[in-house]
Amino acid sequence: MEQQQEINRPITVIGLGGAGVKIIGRLAALPHAAHLKLLAVDTDSGVLERSPLESGRKFLADEKWRQGKGCGGNVLEGQRSISRERGNIEDLVSGSSLLLIACGLGGGTATGGVAAFAGIAKKLNIPSIFIATMPFSLEGRSKRRIAENGVKELLPVADVLLYLPNDLLFTRLSGDTPVEKAFEMADMEVARTIIGVSEIISHNNLLPASLADIKEALKKQKSSAGIGVGTADSSDGLNRNHIALQRMLDSPLLGGIEKLQDADTVIVSLTGGKDLKIDETKKTLEAFGKFVHPECNLIVGANTAENYGEQVQITAIAIKFDTQPLPAENTGTNGFNAPETKKNEEKPKLDLFGAELEQAELPLQNISRGIFLNTTPVIHQGEDLDVPTFQRKGIIIDKG
C-alpha cells in the first residue's frame, strides 16, 4: 500500500541556475525522461525563455529583486533569491517521492540556492540528491573557488551529493572543441546520469536497488564519485548490452576503468525495453562485476521501461571512501563540514520513501571530492588548507 503510494508520487528533477536549466532542457528531449517531473528554476528570465520546457514548468525566482536579470555570479544574492521563494518552491515540489537537483556550481543562483533546496527537501521529508558540475579549469580559479564553497555548504545538508568535474569531459574532446560544444556534451552526460540515477531507484525493478540501499552503502563517510553512462540499441548489433557496457566504461565522467577497480561501493543499473531478458541482464552484470574489486560492495539494479524499445542504458556510480573518518564535531577539517550528528544517536531510519528524517540528523550522506578526485589534500595540523577563508570567516549560509 505504502509502496503503491510511492509509485504514484513523482520523482521531481529541478534544473537550478543557467547550467541546470540547460541540463533540464536536454533531459526534456530524451524520451526516457518521460516519467520524471521536470522543473526549471532560475533568476534569469532570458535563460528560462530559451528553455524548451513548457511555461508551467519554469519558475522565475525573485523577480521582484532580481528583475529577471540573474545574480551575476553573486552567491549571496543567489542565497537570498532562492530563500525568498521558499514557500513557492515548497508548493512546486511537495508530494514528490524524490528530488534530484541538477546545477552547475560557480555562478550565483545555483551556488547560493542549493542549500536552501536541501533545507526545503528536509522540511518536506523528501530525500534529495544533488548532481552538480564543477567549473572547467579554463573558467579560472575564482569560479572554482566559488564552486568549492558551494560544495562545502551543501555537503552537510544534502542527502546525496554527486559532483562532477566538467574538466573530465576534456579528456575525451579534441583541443579545438568550442567551449559551447563542451558544455553541450556536459549537459547531455549529466542529463543521462540523472535518468540513470532515477532508474537505479525506480520501483518496477527486475533486480531491486533502492535509495535506501544507496544511502546505506554510503553511510556517513566522505567519498568521491565517478559516474559512467553507456547506451546502445539494436543498430549496434546483437551484443548491444556489451556495447553499452563498453561505452559506459569509456564515459568521460567516470574517469577511467580504474575508478571502478578502486571503488569501495559501486552502484550499477541496467535499463532496457520490455524485451530485456533476465539472462542477458545477468550476463552483462556478471561481465561488469569483473571490473570491480572482489571486496567492493556492489549494488545492482535492473529494470525495464516501455519507452526504451530496443535501447539499453547502463549507469554506474563508483564511490571511493576517504580513509579518514569524519570529524566528530562540525569543525570543517579536511575541507568539509561534518554533518551535524546527535550524541548517542539512534540507528538512522533507512526507509526513505515515507520515512522520517529528523532535521538535525543526517542519516547517511555521500560526500564526494569531485574536482579534487585526483589531488592530494594539503593537510596541516589536521586542517585542510583548501578550506576557503570564506568559511573560516563564518559567513552564514541559509540552509533552511
Ligand X SMILES: Nc1nc2c(ncn2[C@@H]2O[C@H](COP(=O)(O)OP(=O)(O)OP(=O)(O)O)[C@@H](O)[C@H]2O)c(=O)[nH]1
Chain positions contacting ligand X, by CB under 6 A: 17-19, 22, 42-44, 70-73, 78, 104, 106-110, 133, 135-136, 139, 143, 166, 183, 186-187
Q: Residues 321, 325, 326, CA angle at the centre, nearest 5°? A: 100
Looking at 62-70, 217-225, 321-329, 392-400, which segment touches Mg ion (CB under 5 A)? 62-70
Task: In angstroms, give the least distance from the CB of 377 to ligand X.
Answer: 22
By beta-carbon proximity to ligand X, the closer residue of 103 and 338 is 103
Q: Is 112 one of the binding residues for Mg ion (CB under 5 A)?
A: no
By beta-carbon proximity to ligand X, the closer residue of 131 and 263 is 131
Task: In angstroms, give the least distance from the CB of 180 to ligand X.
Answer: 8
Among 15, 25, 70, 230, binds Mg ion (CB under 5 A): 70
By beta-carbon proximity to Mg ion, the closer residue of 21 and 162 is 21
Residue 252 binding result from Mg ion, ligand X, none, given CB thresholds of 5 to 8 Å by partner type? none
Residue 110 binding result from ligand X, Mg ion, none, given CB thresholds of 5 to 8 Å by partner type? ligand X
Task: In angstroms, give the least distance from the CB of 70 to Mg ion.
Answer: 4
Task: In angstroms, give the least distance from the CB of 153 to ligand X.
Answer: 14
Residue 22 binding result from Mg ion, ligand X, none, given CB thresholds of 5 to 8 Å by partner type? ligand X
Residues between 3 and 32 that touch Mg ion (CB under 5 A): 18
By beta-carbon proximity to ligand X, the closer residue of 188 and 207 is 188
Residue 12 binding result from Mg ion, ligand X, none, given CB thresholds of 5 to 8 Å by partner type? none
Task: In angstroms, give the least distance from the CB of 59 to Mg ion.
Answer: 14
| SS (HEC) of the chain | CHHHHHHHCCEEEEEEHHHHHHHHHHHHCCHHHCCEEEEEEECEHHHHHHCCCCHHHEEECCHHHHCCECCCCCHHHHHHHHHHCHHHHHHHHCCCCEEEEEEEECECHHHHHHHHHHHHHHHCCCCEEEEEEECCHHHCHHHHHHHHHHHHHHCCCCCEEEEEEHHHHHHHCCCCCCHHHHHHHHHHHHHHHHHHHHHHCCCCEEECCCHHHHHHHHCCCEEEEEEEEEEECHHHCCCHHHHHHHHHHHCCCCCCHHHHHHCCEEEEEEEECCCCCHHHHHHHHHHHHCCCCCCCEEEEEEEECHHHCCCEEEEEEEEEECCCCCCCCCCCHHHCCCCCCCCCCCCCCCCCCCCCCCCCCCCCCEECCHHHCCCCCCEECCEECCCCHHHHCCCCCCCC
Residue 73 binding result from Mg ion, ligand X, none, given CB thresholds of 5 to 8 Å by partner type? ligand X
Task: In angstroms, give the least distance from the CB of 391 to ligand X.
Answer: 19
Task: In angstroms, give the least distance from the CB of 51 to ligand X.
Answer: 11
By beta-carbon proximity to ligand X, the closer residue of 76 and 360 is 76
Point out which residues bind Mg ion (CB under 5 A). 18, 44, 70
